[in-house]
Chains A and B, each alone.
Chain A
Amino acid sequence: MLFSFSNLNSWVVGLCPPLTIDITFGEIFFCSASARLTCKLKIYKLEKKEKFLTSHNRFVRYMRSNFNDGAGKPLANDHSEPQEIEASVTASSEKVGSTLSITVVGASGDLAKKKIFPALFALYYEDCLPEDFTVFGYARTKLTDEELRNMISKTLTCRIDKKENCEDKMDQFLMRCFYYSGLYSSEEHFAVLDSRLKEKEAGKLSNRLFYLSIPPNIFVDVAKCASLRASSATGWTRVIVEKPFGRDSESSGELTRSLKQYLREDQIFRIDHYLGKELVENLSVLRFSNLVFEPLWSRNYIRNVQFIFSEDFGTEGRGGYFDNYGIIRDIMQNHLLQILALFAMETPVSLDAEDIRNEKVKVLRSMQPLLLENVIVGQYKGHNKGSKSYPAYTDDPTVPKGSLTPTFAAAALFLNNARWDGVPFLMKAGKALHTKRAEIRVQFRHVPGNLYKRNFGTDLDKATNELVLRLQPDEAIYLKINNKVPGLGMRLDRSDLNLLYRSRYPTEIPDAYERLVLDAIEGERRLFIRSDELDAAWALFTPLLKELEEKKIVPELYPYGSRGPVGAHYLAAKYNVRWGDLSGEDS
């Protein structure tokens, strides 16, 4: 039975209960986070063999079911006989133990400084990294190890709730960080990196993770050099890449093809950091581990679903990259669409990565490609409020003056399947709006034959139940219900059944990157995007994006800091929807 668990994580969950059931508080502590790690460390060596076998089994199943196209690439195992390689790995691991090397390619960049190194430190602090690990920074800039450490140390922070010996830990972490300067397209430089990695690995089983924190045009070069020159000979080699994954179906397909020349599908970890957010993770838990939600999760009860992303700032002088992509590619086609797929998918066979991703792909493939008339685009313009003046998008010096790139978009999407036929899924994403927020809103239908109708006025749809998952900021889940106002009359109002994370869970919620890096280390692919998912996602958006560009659709201008173009309301009205975030009740 245990052997069917398909990754280390599940392994530990499977093994932990006898150690960690804690009923004192009545909660379901079957495997606490720290226990997961303790267990992991204990089990890591003992169960290495089984771990590899299970991951191998999954790999084989995976290759059979999905990817029979990966011919003999440099790193690809021979599909017919992968067992031998795994077996040899297993044998060596039992002798010498293993080590993990994480190479951050593009170490001097912004994302690396702000997100990746802090996430790695947090994992180290929480004891989530293996005992034996090394972090390498790789970039073109000339830096010494000391300089890198100095740079990183400025952005590291400790969890608010665990201040003690933070400094110690930080120093220990920094001692494991090294730097190597090299060109992204130079195989020689990667070969040198390889030798330095080997030095640190000291003959142990080596697992290597490359985090490509670099512009997309050099993805393939780096993947090539790393794969050819710096792959692990004994353990696994994985590569994390982050968006953009192309600009459309063609360029994305091209990128995937190129990457696959050097990497197998199971080595590619495409990050969508929204999938690492706590409430997105919790979405499936809510749906599938509570009886009260699943019966409602269909067109019978749900009237519409809204995915809303707002930022309260513009490009602020860094619009160069953005202008080439626009909000639809930057937010909708990936983050919001991924959440939509998770929201709408059928129950997967298991929580296994492939099972979940299979279901997500099915959702994407059941969707109608977006139509131009179901999309509203906007761009922010300058705005003076009080004495402060906010710039227009085209005031950004890195943006061409005549740019038509949307900084706001709203779209209506439809799923043609039995569960969701006719239910509008609305998306809205924008920069320079009045608030910073990401949320999912599920609006339910009105009660048929409601006995209390007359208490609601003429529009019954204004008083329906609504489930809101607020992903950020201030993580919360709340369900709007109709309730009697206490008192002698019979007046109803909508109140919230709510769960505000901050008050229920005082511990800090880990950053999405921590989760995702840890998952990549553990080989858990659930939260990463598979090639066919990516293809399906692009297939939905590419025709629209082409049409927008070909027809040079002029975006509706909206003032910086406003609630976005009013066109979004008309789009919603067309499908008999009202934006839940702009209803006045909780803006």
Chain B
Amino acid sequence: MAALSSSTALSSSSVNGLHQRIAFSSPPSFLLPQRFLSAKLSLQCRRNSHPNMVLMEDGAAVTRPTHVKNETPLNELNERLVLGTSLEESNDAAGFDMNGDESTVSITVVGASGDLAKKKIFPALFALYYEGFLPKHFTIFGYARSKMTDAELRNMVSRTLTCRIDKRENCDEKMDEFLKRCFYHSGQYDSQENFAALDKKLMAHEGGRVSNRLFYLSIPPNIFIDAVRCASSSASSGNGWTRVIVEKPFGRDSESSAAMTKSLKQYLKEDQIFRIDHYLGKELVENLSVLRFSNLIFEPLWSRQYIRNVQLIFSEDFGTEGRGGYFDHYGIIRDIMQNHLLQILALFAMETPVSLDAEDTRNEKVKVLRSMRPLRLEDVVTGQYKSHTKGGVSYPAYTDDKTVSKDSLTPTFAAAALFIDNARWDGVPFLMKAGKALHTRRTEIRVQFRHVPGNLYNRNFGTDLDRATNELVIRVQPDEAIYLKINNKVPGLGMRLDRSHLNLHYAARYSKEIPDAYERLLLDAIEGERRLFIRSDELDAAWALFTPLLKELEEKKIIPEYYPYGSRGPVGAHYLAARYNVRWGDLGVEQ
């Protein structure tokens, strides 16, 4: 690697003074994804123009493909990817990075007429464009079975685009420019010919430049493989990279997930597969590692010695609302816990990685997952919402949903206790809770600390010392915030203590809008930054934890505990928590 870095510096110095400066000023930077380089500098550069941003990635200069037209850097080294060396980062990033003028990115949204595409993907792409994060040459293609013209697609897309609240000016202009880069191609998901036609259109737009292609599969999982096969064999880039973003569900259990991975790998290499878990793109989940690893005051506390329990809580205040068909097949455990909450847990609990490199972080996450005990039925409570009438408004039961079978036992709520059997976390309960149709909408991480041993102020706390412990709360959504509950003296002449918050409320501190998770993830996929995507072995480990439980729930036909729509969920969750001497932090009277 040392040799590589020096050659990096040399080759880039011959091209551009800026490269040289950067390469020399931060020699180890080839180890890092570009966005982690000297943040202020890189960010400023990035804000101004995309090509500058990529200059920061000096590792890329090794394979600076100025003259490379007919070579796919990805073909080499592909087996090394899994080993997690960063060479690959440099290589595939190089595909377009170094040549603002020479390379193009084509983003094909497969399933463009779907809901996710309309609501999330196109708006995220526009936001990236608006902020100057997309490369100079880019094209967006919508692909779906519906017959549509480019204009119709543009019309459809335009309805969901919005500008950042803080940057209203020339928004319309930008929107028009963006829409002009959007095209549509109608085709079957399993038709190689249709994809080949798409390939021709893409090539026309790429105009002979190095072509990098990103396919976003916004389609049901049963056609993933077909689409991947066609895209890979008929519409892969000839000279740049080709990447595919897929979103959950990644199977229903260990077997189906493994089968899917296997099929995908028939057509794609591991480093071409970008499995999105959009929770990992959320600002506060990103910030979790920053909090832990860049503040001295948290890391010493981050273990069983000080932490009594950790709670990962997801609530939605609405039900399936007539769209339960997909959900009924999966249930809340697969839909939320096995992926989103478990991913956050792994990030939370992992050991310090060697670097912020994608592979280093993912290696640590896998270690956490593999140290965990598979869930046991007795550590899980499931629930399902029933109808409820409140003030004249009547809310439907889950089984009232027309797309759900009347006798469905699918859980819409689940709470679980998980344990990590390693030196850091032995005996600390990690509680998860996820539910639909609850009283509030919220995602948060709560860290409850132990009580102060031999507390001098015990007398002021009453009998249950654990009720007055410190608690760190990271509210992922809505209203992003971080706060630490501390015991404090109530001002006045007495000695009365209460819990107040040391807090950081994002809306108050940071006036700018926080980017949507999809923006970050799309940008990462374009840049080849894999940190926030799920690796195959991670996925396997995650399923291994949940599959036995899911099987047992289904085999034993466990009946969920019913809770009223809009309530705080089944009380069973409290008993589960009580068994491990935990109190749910979100349902305390304080909240």
Residues of A at the B interface (CB closer than 8 Å) are 9-10, 13-14, 17, 21, 23-33, 35-36, 123, 126, 128, 278, 281-282, 284-286, 288-292, 294-296, 301, 347-348, 350-351, 444-447, 449-452, 454-457, 463-465, 475, 477-479, 481-492, 495-499, 501, 504-505, 507, 509-510, 514-515, 518
Contacts and interface: CB of A to CB of B under 8 A. Distances in A.
A204 B77 CA distance: 97
B503 to A, nearest CB: 6
B492 interface: yes
B291 A483 contact: yes
B296 A301 contact: yes
B478 interface: no
B540 interface: no
Contacts of B490: 32-33, 505
A91 B131 CA distance: 83
Nearest to A505: B491
A505 to B, nearest CB: 5
A130 B588 CA distance: 39
Interface centre among B131, B482, B486, B492 (most CB of A within 10 A): B492
B311 interface: no
A284 B487 CA distance: 11
Contacts of A126: 493
13 contacts: A30-B460, A33-B490, A35-B494, A36-B496, A292-B301, A450-B293, A452-B356, A477-B488, A477-B502, A484-B286, A487-B514, A495-B504, A505-B491
Nearest to A278: B491
Contacts of A284: 456
Contacts of A13: 459-460, 495
B515 A488 contact: yes
A347 B455 CA distance: 10
A351 B456 contact: yes
Interface centre among B131, B355, B499 (most CB of A within 10 A): B499
A261 B194 CA distance: 106
B470 A483 contact: no
Given A30-B496, A31-B495, 6 more contacts: A26-B588, A36-B495, A36-B496, A301-B296, A488-B520, A497-B502
Nearest to A487: B515
B533 to A, nearest CB: 16
A514 B488 contact: no
Contacts of B510: 485-486
Contacts, number: 258
B36 A454 contact: yes
4 nearest A-B pairs in the assembled complex, by CB-CB distance: A33-B494, A26-B590, A489-B43, A497-B502
A451 B294 contact: yes
B260 interface: no
A499 B488 contact: yes
B323 to A, nearest CB: 30
A105 to B, nearest CB: 24
B53 to A, nearest CB: 9
Interface string B354-372: 0110000000000000000
A159 B187 CA distance: 76
B506 A486 contact: yes
Tell me whether chain B's interface is mostly helix, strand or loop, or mixed. Answer: mixed
Given A496-B504, A505-B491, A291 B450 contact: yes
A123 B494 CA distance: 12
Interface string B7-43: 0000000000000000000100100100111111011
B462 interface: yes
Nearest to B28: A454
B328 to A, nearest CB: 36
Contacts of B43: 487, 489-491
Interface residues of B, number: 86
B355 A451 contact: yes
Contacts of B482: 483, 497
A278 B287 CA distance: 34
A185 B130 CA distance: 84
A497 B484 contact: yes
B300 A295 contact: yes
B131 A488 contact: yes
Contacts of A292: 297, 301, 306, 449, 470, 472, 484, 486
A479 B491 contact: no
Given A291-B470, A482-B294, A499-B503, A278 B515 contact: no
Interface in B145-173: none
Given A27-B499, A488-B523, A518-B493, A452 B306 contact: no
A479 B452 contact: no
Contacts of A495: 504, 509
Contact of A482 (B38, B290, B355, B519): B290
Interface centre among B300, B449, B504 (most CB of A within 10 A): B504
B515 A446 contact: no
A492 B498 CA distance: 32
A280 to B, nearest CB: 10
Contacts of B40: 455, 491
A489 B35 contact: yes
B275 interface: no
A465 to B, nearest CB: 5
A30 B497 CA distance: 8
Nearest to B524: A488
Contact of A489 (B32, B42, B128, B449): B42
B494 A445 contact: no
B306 A285 contact: no
A282 B489 contact: yes
A488 B495 contact: no
B413 interface: no
A124 to B, nearest CB: 12
Nearest to A464: B296
Interface string B276-305: 000000010011011101111101110000
B423 interface: no
Contacts of B133: 488
A290 B486 contact: yes
Contacts of A497: 482-484, 502-504
A74 B494 CA distance: 34
B274 to A, nearest CB: 16
A134 B590 CA distance: 44
B575 interface: no
B551 interface: no
Given A289-B452, A296-B300, A484 B504 contact: no
Contacts of A449: 352
A286 B503 contact: no
Nearest to B133: A488
A507 B501 CA distance: 17
B480 interface: yes
A355 B588 CA distance: 36
